[in-house]
Each structure stands twice: as structure tokens, then as C-alpha cells.
Chain A
Amino acid sequence: MISYKHLEFHPEKPTDNNEINQIIELVKVNLSEPYCIYTYRYFLNQCPQLCYIAYDDEKPKGQNIIAVSISKAETHQGVRVRGYLGMIAVDPAYRGKGIAKTLIDKSIDVMIDSYHCDEIVLETEVDNPQALNLYESFGFIRTRRLFRYYLNKNDAYRLVLPLTEKSTIRTYFL
């Protein structure tokens, strides 16, 4: 049984470090870019609602996080609210079960309902067809190819999902 919930974060009490460590480990093993602790803290503190976690309820606590999506939402250039899907990692043993799809779906819901995002943006490696197909199945389209974007020298595509008219109007005219 797989369950989903977003990260609980209360500024007045310490975060559950066990969960944070599991998330960090999952991302570290499954994504090519190295991120420092502040990168995780930045996302998790900023928008805990947008850190969606998938649990395998049959596994013991402390080892039960099997997938995570880490995102944020903020005003972009003072004119539109932009959601940003930062990282998605799924334990290889749980791939092909639609978990990433569910995490993206839930993140998009929160970005629309709670943050009223005008668009959602992300970058992904050009030679990761699985990730590209997944995002593009939600309607994300490639807007730019970013030359040698990653530390491993791979190019990236910037993908954008327009949610309101604002996303389709040049910033200058907003």
C-alpha cells in the first residue's frame, strides 16, 4: 500500500530529521546533480506543502519513504506566480507504478489551488526520455534548450506548463 502526504513543517519545532535524511538520500542516489543541505532546506522550509512524499506503508518508519517531489512557488519578476518542480526521485524498486505521476499531479494541484500559479516550470536533461515523456504527458512543453546546463555537461530542456494567460504574455507587457 502506497500513501502520499506533504511534508509537515513547523518553524517552532525541529523538523523530523529522519524524514529529511531519507529524502536527501533518495535524491542523492537517483539524481545526477549534487545538492547541499541548504538546497533541501531552502525548498522544504519555503514550501513544505510542495514537498510531496510517497510512503510504502508496509515498511518500517525510517525506511518507508520511496519517492519524493520537491517544489516551490513564488512570484517571478514581480508579474506572475511561478511554480517550480525542483526534484523528483523514485526508488528504482518502485518505478513503473505511476508514483512519479501521482506526485506531479498532487504538486500541480497544490500549485493551482493554494499558490494560484500562472505557470509551472522545470528543467530536465535532454537525454532522459522517461522524464521528458512524463512531464510532457501533463502538457508541459519545451521552451528552450539550455546548452551544457548540468555539471555532467548535458543539455537541458526548460519545460513550462501554462496555467493562465499570464504565462503566455511577455513579461514586458504584464
Chain B
Amino acid sequence: MSRHTNPAELNNLELDSWVDITQQFFETAKNVKHGNIVKLESLDLMEGTDAKEILNPALDTGLIEDESYDCDRDLTLDETVRVVANITSCLVTWLDSSSLPVTLFSCRYIEEILTRFSALLSSSTIVEKIFQVSNLQYSNKLDQSDSFTYRILRAYLIGVLNFTAFVLNIPVLKDEEDLNRVSMDLNIDLLLQFPQKDVADLVNSAYSLLEKRDDKNSKVLQLYFDILKRLQMLYPLSASVNQGDFQDTLFLHEATGFIDKLSEENDYIDSIPQIPHLFTRGIQKRKNNIFPPRPIKMHSFTICISYLHYLFDDLKLAMDVLCFQDAADLRNRLYIFGSKRNEKLPDQEHTSTHIVAALFLESILLRDGLILGAIPVSEFLKQDLSSLTAGESVVLSLLEDDKLTNDRAIKARASSLLQEMEKTYISWIQSFLQNPSKQRDFFLDSVVVWDTIQVTADDLETSLPDDYGLEDTFKSIQPDGSLSELPVMPLSSYVYYMKLDSMVQVVFRGIELEIYKPWEMYQMYWYGLYLLSTLESHIARMKDVAKYKLSKAEGESKDIWKKTLDHINFLIQETIVFKTLAQAQQYTWTILDNLKLLKLPKYNRTTPQLLYQLRMKPFSSVGIPQLPSIQHFQNFADEIAEGSLRFRTERERVQDICFRCSSAVRQLTTEVKTAASQLKKIHPSRGRFKADYERGVDQILRSSIGVAVFSTKVNKKIKDAEFVTQCLKENPSNQAYDVSLSRAQYHRFFRLRRLNI
């Protein structure tokens, strides 16, 4: 029973059947020596680690000083602006992974409103009454006062709480670190039960009052309402199944304009003093709270403005993603959405799209398990298959077309396989809507899943010709010049592509998240390059299939295969760009490794073999491509060194290796430039997605130039025999040479190493 148990609950407890052990407890406790642990064998102390320790200021919310605030005090216009500005800052701060109690709920007006609502919930008749906005009861003054300021405040607070409830109720699961839902038993969902029209009327009526006034305060308040009204426009959209509705992003552009105007009021808003005791930690003490005391979080006005831009910019992006043409187009748009980072915001370089935009997008894109709430995922997956490996292969019709086969066993196998693929495909879509750390985790988990599915797909497709007479082949020229007829295996080929892509994502997103230390980078680029080469070979095979099928196709079928081939051409070009730059990066790490500048763990308590195996653990169980051993890596490194064996001294040998690598880097970075320019030309998207993609390619080019410049600098340095000799000393006494990674302005997968000499 908690100290918050209300009388109604007490009556339901059937206290007659309870036994009072208070006295017995205190008597027994007298025998416990201070410092002893008393516990049942069956209890684990672990269960106590979440306990909140009384009288510990870091854990006991009861020690928070309760400051009183009169919610019925008169507010000046300036003070009203202050409250509205703070509430808006609290809203954006909550959406920046803070909790409600330390943001919005820290406002006494909000607490008052929600407390009254929650209390009234126990009486159904009153609940019915409060649904009528005219009867809203949140504070005597707020409710009854006709004063201008309270009418404004009333509308803004209800509007913001309504938006908060809207966000909390978007039917998508997100982790607590992304969106904190702690509500301290305050029933914020009730706000959703008001007819939206009533809330909109309340906000509009306050807005009309502001429009009639010419004073500065009212103009500023109007801007806040303008922004709030644009947020409210998301509500009907979130329920829409009509893709055309997402094309109209005018209201989001308008919001951006209002935010810009509001930003000009920085000096005025900063000049309004804070209202004492209005935003406090008191709610953490007064309401049901299982967390330790935490300070109030409220972004400054300037940061609030940045976050509002972040919110609306990403909502625009989400809306644009929803206007995709087909599965292939959605694939390209999701990659852009999932790659967006907010490096302009403080400490946010590892934050992806705004949480509200991600929630909004996911809830509409995957509503009720259907794409856009209308298209079965299975149908959409077939589109995706068609755009990558299947064109219009017979296997896509296996389930529906009884002319191909009416064998129940094969249909059941195909159905089961497609269901597995569907689940993983949904998870793949969701991965782009997560924070960057979670994105990598999603890809990491999917590697094993795709690998397992590939076995099933292989089994099914290899049995089709012999067991069911369903043959699907293509002819391809082999490396020896001969022409071979090979099975297409579109499902297996698709799954293999998805698996390889996930593996590439895991490796390179590890670079983005700074998972690898400099001494690991050589290995990781080497392995990344191995994966990219495998991926390139596989896409080349996909291309051979598409080209062959296109050459045989007629009519509509020709268009389908043409589209598939175009898509594959783009993918292969993109892979070439990444592979070439990865190779250039690898050579720079070869240089640093040979100069012995990659410092290994000083007090290492394990072996290089185990470290390598742990690093590669996510890929260790993958059948194809098999994980190369550390010996493979060593052999690769040795092969590079072999070309320099003719030199007499170690210094000369290392200098030669470095010169050769440096020359290779120059050649490769030139190739990156050519390949990237070609990539820009063939990117299939239009409009903003093409522009966003091109910005990504520009970052690749910047990384490539950075690699080339680095290589040139090192090349000059290597000519200095003394420098190389110093580097090669067993235990260089000086710390003059330090390798670190720099990320600013470079592509997130191709961070630059900085050599401090």
C-alpha cells in the first residue's frame, strides 16, 4: 500500500482479512545488529538495488524542498510569455530524451491541471462533464477567470498537453531512452479523449484574442500559438491512409517561418525574469515517483529554437518519405531518413531523426501491419524482391498461380519462407527509424536472421527444378570465357543481398559510433573491404540475371526488368564508391601500422586472437561469406610487406611499403572522384532525396580528399629517415606521434585519422 492510496482503494482492500504485524516487525528488528544483512535465502540482493534509500539526498525525493506557488495569482503579459516560452522549452526538452517530471510536469499549472483531471477520473459523471471543454476544471483561476492572460494560458497549456498525449499514444514501441513515458500516475491520456475540435476551438479562440492586439507580448505569444497550431495539424494526418495527404507540407514550411520569426525575439524573451517557484522539482516529491530526485531540464531559448527546427525539418522529411513511389523508392528514402544526423545540435552528433518524426513515420508506414495501413507487407516485399533480384520471376507467383504448381507442400514451404522474410523485412524498415546505436543493433541481429533464412531459401529454390519442374535460369559468361547456364534463385539471392548489406552496415556503423580504437581500424577496413568486395560480386551476379532476362523479355516484362537493372546499376556503383574509398582508407592504416603508430593495449590481459574473435563475434556463425581468420589478415599484411623485402634495413623497408601505399591511396582517391560523380548522375530519386543523397556523396568526396591530403603529408614525412627510425623504436619514449580520429565534416563511415606529429 502506498502513501498515495486513496480512500476508494482502501475500501476495496477487505482489511478484515489482513493481519497487523507492525508491532511484531519492530520487536524483531530490535535484534538486528547495525550493518548486518537480513534476508531470506530465496531473495537476491539484486532485487533491492532499485530501492530508494530514505535520507540519501541523491535518492530520497522526500528531501526535496517543497516550494509553494499560488496558481491563482494574477499574471502580467510578460509573465504569460515567460510561462509559454518555458512550457515550449520543456516540451522540446522532454522530446530530447528527458522525463516528463523534470520537464513539462515541473510546471505547477500542468501539475494542477493533471491532478484535477486524474482525481475526477474516479467519478464517471464528472469525467463525462470535463470532456466538455467549457467545463474544463484545472485551476479555479484558470477555469473561471476571464482575464486575458488566463484565457491565453489555459488554451496553450491544454494545447501542449494534448500534443503530449498525442505523442505518447502513437502506436509504436520505442525504448525508454528515446521517449520517456513516466507519468507519475497523472492520467495524461485523458487529454486525448477531448474532442479534437474542442481543443482546436479553445486554441483558435485564444489566437483570435491575440490577433486583435498590437502589443509586442501578444505578437510573440501569437508566434508560439502559430507553431502549436501546426503541430495540431499532425493529428488528422496521423490517421490518414491516403498517400496524397502527405504531399502537402506547406504547414510545416509555415512553422519553420514562425520559428525563424520567434528566434528574433531572443533578447526580449531572455529579458523576462523567471517566475519564482513556478517550475520546481516539487512534483517529484508530491506524486507517485519511483525515480531518484533529478534536476529540472529546460533547454535555453536558443536551443529550444534549434530543437523546434529539428522537429519540423524531420517531420518534413518523414512526410516526404511517405510519398514514396514503390518499394525501391522507399528503400532509397529510408536510407536517407536513417542516415540523417544532427551534428549542428549540441552533443547530438549521434542522434538521428527527431523522435516525433520517427514515431509519426513508423506509425503511418507500418499501420496495423500493413504498409500505409493498406498494402499487405507480403505484396510490398514482392515489389522489393522484384526491384532487386526477381524482376518478374516465376517464384513470385508461386503461391497464387496454380498453373505453375498446385502442390500444397511446396506452397506451404514458400508461404512459410515468405512469412519469415516479411518479419525480417518489417524489422529492416524499423531499423531506419531508430537512434544510431539501435540501428546498428538491429542490423547486427538481422545478420543471423537473414543467414538462417538463406538456408531455407536455398533449400526451396534448389528443389524447384527437380521436384516441381520449375526451372528459372540465366546464362552468364564465366571468367574463363565460357558461357554457363545457372539457376536464378531470386529469393536466395535477395536474402543474401540483405545479409551482406546488414553485415556492411554493422562494420561501418561501428566506425560511425566510434566502437573501434585506432589499432583496430586496419582490421576493420580490411574486413569491411572484404564484405564490400563480396557484395559487389553478388550485385554483379544480380546484374547478369537482370541483363539476361531483359534481353529475353517482351512487353510489360521488359519494363519490369529494365527497372530492376537500373536499380542494380545504382547499387553496384554505390558499392564501388564505398569499396574504393574503403581500400584507400585501408592503405593509410597500413602505413600507420607499419610505422608502428597504432598503439596496442599497454597492459593487455588477453590475446590478439581472442580480441579478433570477439570483435568478429557477430559474424562468426555466418555460413557465407565465411569469417576470415586472423591469420588471413596477417597474411594480407605480410603480402603487402613482401614487395619490400629487398631492402637492407628495416627503415628502408618500411619507407618503401609506405611509399607504395601512399601511391595507391592517390590512385584510389582519383578513382573515388570519378565513381562518385557517376553515382550522383544515376541516383534514382528526385527532388530533396536526390539533393540529400548528393550531400552524402559530397561527404564521401570530402573524406576522399582528406585521405589524399593525409597520404601526401605522411609521404613527405616518411622521406625523413630520422622520423621513420624514431617511429620504429621498440618503445618510443616520446608520445609525439599520436593517432586519433576526426569526424567533423567527413562521411560518418570514413572518419579521418589525425596524426599529431
Contacts and interface: CB of A to CB of B under 8 A. Distances in A.
A45 interface: yes
Nearest to B49: A39
Contacts of A141: 517, 520, 611, 614-615
A37 B437 contact: no
Contact of A46 (B45, B294, B514): B45
Given A34-B292, A139-B606, A145-B513, A41 B614 contact: no
Interface stretch (A13-21, A62-70, A87-95): A13-21
A127 B379 CA distance: 46
Contacts of B46: 42
B601 A41 contact: no
B601 to A, nearest CB: 4
Contact of B601 (A136, A151, A169): A136
Contacts of B621: 170, 172-173
A101 B97 CA distance: 34
Given A146-B437, A151-B292, A168-B613, A139 B604 contact: yes
B48 interface: yes
Interface in A1-46: 14-17, 20, 28, 34-39, 41-42, 45-46
Contacts of B74: none
B197 interface: no
Given A28-B58, A36-B49, A143-B515, A161 B605 contact: yes
Given A38-B45, A145-B515, A169-B620, A15 B35 contact: yes
A153 B297 CA distance: 11
A142 B510 CA distance: 10
A167 interface: yes
A138 B610 CA distance: 13
Interface in B689-712: none
Contacts, number: 138
Given A139-B606, A142-B516, A162-B606, A38 B49 contact: yes
A160 B98 CA distance: 29
Q: Dominant SS at the A interface?
A: mixed
Given A162-B613, A168-B620, A169-B620, A144 B292 contact: no
Interface string B590-607: 000000000001111110
A50 interface: no
Given A168-B620, A170-B617, A163 B601 contact: no
A57 interface: no
Contacts of A46: 45
A165 interface: yes
A28 B440 CA distance: 33
Contacts of B610: 162-165, 167-168
Interface residues of A, number: 51
B614 A36 contact: no
Interface in B515-534: 515-517, 520
Given A139-B606, A163-B610, A167-B610, A147 B177 contact: yes
Interface string B89-100: 000000001100
A139 B601 contact: yes
Interface in B593-641: 601-606, 610-611, 613-617, 620-621
A128 interface: no
Contacts of A45: 37, 45
A148 interface: yes
Nearest to A18: B35
Nearest to B177: A148
Nearest to B57: A34
Contacts of A148: 97, 177-178
B602 A137 contact: yes
Interface in B36-82: 36-37, 45-46, 48-53, 56, 58-59
Given A141-B611, A153-B98, A170-B620, A14 B177 contact: no
A73 interface: no
B157 to A, nearest CB: 26
A42 B611 contact: no
Nearest to A147: B437
B25 to A, nearest CB: 19
A145 B35 contact: no
Interface in B417-465: 435-438, 440-441, 448
B648 interface: no
B614 A168 contact: yes
A173 B623 CA distance: 14
B408 interface: no
A140 B602 CA distance: 11
A38 B441 contact: no
A99 interface: no
Given A101-B603, A137-B602, A36 B56 contact: yes
Given A14-B35, A160-B614, A168-B617, A136 B517 contact: yes
Given A136-B517, A167-B614, A168-B614, A17 B604 contact: no
B34 interface: yes
A42 B605 contact: no
Contacts of A14: 33-36
A155 B611 contact: no
Interface string B368-411: 00000000000000000000000000000000000000000000
B82 to A, nearest CB: 25
B606 A161 contact: yes
Contacts of B261: none
Nearest to A111: B605
B286 interface: no
B350 interface: yes
Contacts of B603: 101, 105, 137-139
A120 to B, nearest CB: 9
Interface of B: 33-37, 45-46, 48-53, 56, 58-59, 97-98, 177-178, 292, 294, 350, 435-438, 440-441, 448, 513-517, 520, 601-606, 610-611, 613-617, 620-621
Interface of A: 14-17, 20, 28, 34-39, 41-42, 45-46, 101, 105, 108, 119, 126, 136-149, 151, 153, 155, 157, 160-165, 167-170, 172-173
Given A36-B51, A46-B45, A168-B613, 12 more contacts: A14-B34, A36-B56, A141-B517, A143-B515, A146-B437, A147-B178, A148-B97, A148-B177, A153-B98, A161-B605, A168-B610, A168-B617
6 contacts: A36-B56, A42-B49, A139-B606, A143-B515, A146-B437, A168-B617
The 5 A-B residue pairs with the shortest CB-CB distance, nearest first, are A38-B48, A34-B58, A168-B613, A148-B177, A42-B45
